[in-house]
Amino acid sequence: MNFTESVKAFIADAYWLDASHAPSVVALQALATELDREVQAALVAQFGVLHRSLLKSKPTNVVADDPLEKMLHR
């Protein structure tokens, strides 16, 4: 799996992301594209920062792992 594929998988599972996260998601996708071309330490670090910030926005009060429940939260 490359960076771009991993971002696609992350976004597909990140039911909590909405339009307010779009700038970070677009930046993460752009970094993934660049990292697939050439891995650079500074880009890897920025990729990690963006990824962690998106993960931190995940609500902690969602208890259901039901796929339908996740779709309703989108």
Number of domains in the chain: 1
First to last CA, the chain: 25
Q: How confident is the model at residue 74 (pLDDT cuts 50, 70, 90)?
A: low
Residue-number span of the structural domain to which 48 is assigned? 3-73
Per-residue pLDDT reduced to its tens digit, 6-43: 999 999 999 999 999 999 999 999 999 999 999 999 99
d(CA 50, CA 30): 11
Nearest to 50 by CA among 18, 28, 19: 28
Tokens of 27: 């930046």
The structure's pTM equals 0.78
